[in-house]
Structure 1
């Protein structure tokens, strides 16, 4: 899932042909904190990409009806997201309503394969492929973003409601990363806080057994699926289908990932072998933008590879 206010610009990732690495200071005013990032891109290209995604994702009649309403939603959006989106739209000279719509487009169009696994020593590994329709655009604007906060708690002045207190799924991730103190706290936040779309949250912690797939409804959890290494379930694989159902034959990334993990074995799982699992077809496919492997206990080992063109 995207990890920023403008999902198509602030995707949290890195790469083999490494993408641009940027620091974003949460101590800067919300309206200005993304401006140094925007300077790395040609404004005309971003505007064209912006327009294409809107045109291809939103029917014209819906766009005409929603655009003026979306602009008014800024009044109900939590900070700092409202200020960040407004600041970027102003800098690029694009419509605020379209900027808000673009955030919501990501909620229903992204696909991914996510894995959380525990090795035989209790280490937790976490990997993910992002699949998205606009591969040619994302391959040019994917960023490795590190949020920096040296001052006070930037969230304390947040507006408490967004419509019915529902957040876009990626905004809740960022809020959780900023505020949750441990694995249990992160799971509770991601499971319980209302969001605007159904989603799967895959969480990996720093201690043994700290792995979870959270299947979300808009109002709360539909299912919690934890690691159970003592029971033999040393990994969990989530694609875009409820784990208790059978994926469709035309998109069965799950079976391929499970076979690769079983072939690897718990004693051999590590950063390198997890990357290989995420590189097995069709887990890796023509719409895969990037592959990320990480471990919360070893943040220095976080790495992402751009996969477009493979």
Structure 2
């Protein structure tokens, strides 16, 4: 009976990080700088790869798509967060919240699968070099990227359906700086069984499958690399994978920590900063990691800028 008298909320309040004006101002400047670097870095990677013929290879094709997803990932979260940091009222309409959940989960899983595709690309390049042109054909690369977006879309739709089954009557304050399905489940006054099943299934099925691809690829890569007699060859093989391993470790590690935790734990401030790490900081770090450690990218940038 109580549930039948429920009046569905039309907007949510976002708790954010702090109510202290000075801290909010400092966070605004920090996140604004981070977002600007993210835009410049990821757009720069995309433009550089498109403009440099010798970067038209599978590895850089995946990297360009990763940069695109990172750009979208950050844009879904950061601009709204910046506005809220400078606003007294921190709120988001129900429709806007649904859109944020859909786009966020689409990008998150798309990035997971793109990183797995990049791990597979490294595996073929190092373990099956003679077959590389045949295995990593343009058609195969397109299918891997398209598949990543399709699985991301499936996840986004699933999480949106999950949110549509939830009712919010007694409280409309999300203890986070954006709309995410985990705090929404905690906030709901309705039966959350279906939402828990969808969230856990998506995290387990998609996340675990990506992790297995990455782990198996790198087990094979390490075994092949250790069998190389030349120290120079070993160094080159390991340096090829270092950037990707760094990105994978941060993104997968923090996302699993956040989403496999019980939903009641999401209110902790430590969890909020963990979410910041992979939603705001990682999209900024990825282009820096790949460009600073990649000689081909540096050379392409010099040629594009006509630096001799």
TM class by shorter chain equals: under 0.3
Mark the structure with the bigger radius of gyration: 2
Q: Could you state the TM-score of these two structures normalised by the residue count of structure 2?
A: 0.24
> Larger % of helix: which?
2
